[in-house]
Structure 1
């Protein structure tokens, strides 16, 4: 028999045959939703055929390859048209409305079993067929897949239990009496390892198996799942009703070995807890250092020493804020907006002159950055705030300080503006020897690969740091 490689032309999915009724289109559309899962259950390539507008031609409505059987690199024939005499078995099944079986050369040198089943509308008219091509025909798996396609429908879109199968998954069919009537090699092997042979014919509610979930799904017609421990093996079990109605005729049971996966998840969880604890201890140590520096500042005899120690305290505190956030989450990334606000509030509270009537505002977009980049931004913000509070409002009784962190195309911007005394005459950023400004330039240019500018306003100063947004995905 010639295969479906004899394609005449591709009509496309938007050019379906016009002879189909609305009901027939809805049936096909519903079957298409479950075709991938059904192909995995049947271990077969599923192809849906309908008559073309020209009765000498067939139209391929949909095709789905299984993940549970290897078919090589076969092109998708969905939406194509071919002569009926090139698919005689499909053509006869459409004409007679009865199931047929035979052989097919699916591709050069690859012969497979072909099973064709009619699809009927509510009036009993056969308007389509679904064909199963398989290397290892398992009658019960194929028949179950046919019933699933005919009866399940679109509700599977809202359930996670209908996901694709993996080649190593255990697969069983259970009838309405909770008896296992079919099992693939993986399922039989899983139970043989546990000392339970002759799996087919056993009841799922027997003492050896004891799966009450299967009985519940058969009764309700609603898919369910759970994790089960089978003598040291941890298995993810899915139970799928063949029809989505109460007292369904059969259920599909899928077992996936997740023992190693769970071990890795546990290891990652332990690692995450340890990392968070390390960040918590680093934060505590930094706060201890800050406390020691405060004690030293109280004993300092000169204002210059006190200012140096105060700046050191604020820098240590800014880094501690970042580690505080890292100790409270699993990710290695920091929400810059949240960290920046914490630093902003701490600096304002510790440095603002109580006699200064200072109006402040803080606005920030939520941006997640790796912890090392967030630390650099925290230090830059700390230095800019200290610089403004040290110099902008000297000799003034009131002022305004605005902080913004926001996204622009391709970049992030950190902007700190004040209405203070402004820049000194002849100010050139690159010629400044201030430690704070040197820290800012180093952090921005070397660590953040950004730019730093200070602009003189009509009244006051505005410092702008621009950072490339590619940092968001960097490590």
Structure 2
């Protein structure tokens, strides 16, 4: 009963489903435990959210006949298209998707099948999803593939060794040793000679114990694993070490060293650069917040009504740029900004937190999941701020309420952004606006795009379009 009540609450709170459609979802949810046990899989119902940007898990069942894919319940969590494309494909098209691979919110690879749930008018109101954990299956597949490739390569190596033509091991960059079950070296290639000389300052000789040169290999060599890949630190250098046992018939083991020092150093440099960039973004955001606080403080100290409007406009511009860095710091990427979140933050700040003279102004947003680099995001933030602020200032003069719609998308390699209101319309003969001058300048000079503004049937529409460069 609690599950049904929770399902009903989630559907009412986050979706546009009717009461009849919610009843349909509830009827299906009652059978989820049986479906989960029968298929030895986790089963879920996802429904599209009101804005269509995400899907939300409204019901789930964990099998008692198999291990669950998830450690924690996922009812009430949002699903994203980047992780579960099959779910969104089915929501949009109403088509089935079977045995599709997906990544769970806990980072596990699963085999996912999705079928649509349809309402009385045959429209898709949700999806029924079955997921099975295939992480272990993929691990064994990769292991077998690697073992197969290694066996094929080693067969060629062995043929070369027996015909006194060891062509392959002579030219590969990795240090290669062939060792008997007692740990004695039976073969080594030129790269192995150089490695021993570098690490031990001595010559590599046939019959010597591999542990004499590399004591750290003891655990690797005596490991029961036929194929083992690990990483070791030797003389402050990083090596990837592969151990390949050829089994009882061949009675030998290959040990292969690959120098990973340069790669690991580059990885460390990238991490340090990422940390430094995030720290710079954090300081920029804090500095912008400080400027905003100083502007607010100056306004509290007393400014004339004529000056107050200019202070508010400047404050909004500073905060719009600060939102760019807030979004960067909340993401894993150090330079990508999600446009929908940026528009939403700026729009809500201006409409719901600003001085709207007690007017009832509504704002809504529409657009795909799309990111741009931070330099373009700063320009976009100022453009969005000026266009919405222009609506708030001029569109609803003499009116008690109004609405604004901000939409964006991509077409033919260009990003378009439009801000539409149902206000009094655009007066081209009016006194030039600083805000619109800023929009025009930033669109043309910073984004190499075009800006236009005109009256439409019910108000004003302002549009910006600029090319998206592939980076």
Instruction: Give yes or no for TM over 0.5.
Output: yes
Asked if residue 458 in structure 1 is aligned to residue 457 in structure 2, the reply is yes
Q: Which has the higher contact order (CA 8 A, sep 6+)?
A: 1
Matches within 5 A, 1:61-140: 137-138=165-166
Match of 1:336? Answer: 339
Greater Cα shift, 369-378 or 333-342: 333-342
Residues 373-397 of structure 1 show CA distances to partners (whole Å, capped at 9, x for unaligned) of 1110111001111111111122222
Matches within 5 A, 1:376-387: 376-387=379-390
Residues 257-315 of structure 1 show CA distances to partners (whole Å, capped at 9, x for unaligned) of 22233223223322221221121111111111111111222334422211101010011
Asked if residue 220 in structure 1 is aligned to residue 220 in structure 2, the reply is no
Change beyond 3 A, Cα 1:31–1:207: closer
Q: How many residues align?
A: 325
Counterparts of 2:231 and 2:155 in 1: how far apart (Å)? 20
Match of 2:306? Answer: 304
CA displacement at 1:407 relative to structure 2: 1.6
Counterparts of 1:325 and 1:341 in 2: how far apart (Å)? 11
User: Retained in 1: the 8 A contact 2:244–2:254?
Assistant: yes
CA displacement at 1:435 relative to structure 2: 0.7
User: Retained in 1: the 8 A contact 2:365–2:407?
Assistant: yes
Greater Cα shift, 268-277 or 197-206: 197-206
More helix by share: 2
Matches within 5 A, 1:318-329: 318-328=320-330, 329=332
Match of 2:187? Answer: 182
Counterparts of 2:416 and 2:402 in 1: how far apart (Å)? 23
Counterparts of 1:237 and 1:352 in 2: how far apart (Å)? 65
Residues 346-404 of structure 1 show CA distances to partners (whole Å, capped at 9, x for unaligned) of 22233252632222211232323221111101110011111111111222222211111
CA displacement at 1:240 relative to structure 2: 3.5
1:358 is aligned, of 348, 356, 361, to 361
User: Retained in 2: the 8 A contact 1:351–1:386?
Assistant: no
Counterparts of 1:197 and 1:188 in 2: how far apart (Å)? 7
Structure (1 or 2) with the larger CA radius of gyration: 1
> TM-score of the superposition, structure 1-length normalised?
0.60
2:175 is aligned, of 170, 177, 182, to 170
Unaligned runs of 5+ in 2: 1-143
Counterparts of 1:389 and 1:248 in 2: how far apart (Å)? 81
Matches within 5 A, 1:49-448: 137-138=165-166, 167-195=172-200, 197-198=203-204, 200-204=206-210, 208-211=214-217, 212-216=219-223, 219-221=224-226, 223-242=227-246, 249-328=251-330, 329-351=332-354, 353=356, 355-424=358-427, 427=428, 433-448=432-447
Counterparts of 2:192 and 2:253 in 1: how far apart (Å)? 15
**Partner-residue secondary structure (3-state), 1:210:** helix
Counterparts of 1:168 and 1:259 in 2: how far apart (Å)? 14
Change beyond 3 A, Cα 1:177–1:352: farther
Change beyond 3 A, Cα 1:255–1:434: same
**Partner-residue secondary structure (3-state), 1:351:** coil
Change beyond 3 A, Cα 1:220–1:248: farther
CA displacement at 1:422 relative to structure 2: 1.4
User: Retained in 2: the 8 A contact 1:178–1:215?
Assistant: no
Change beyond 3 A, Cα 1:167–1:348: farther
User: Retained in 1: the 8 A contact 2:363–2:405?
Assistant: yes
Change beyond 3 A, Cα 1:442–1:140: closer
Unaligned runs of 5+ in 1: 1-29, 45-98, 102-112, 116-135, 143-165
**Partner-residue secondary structure (3-state), 1:235:** strand
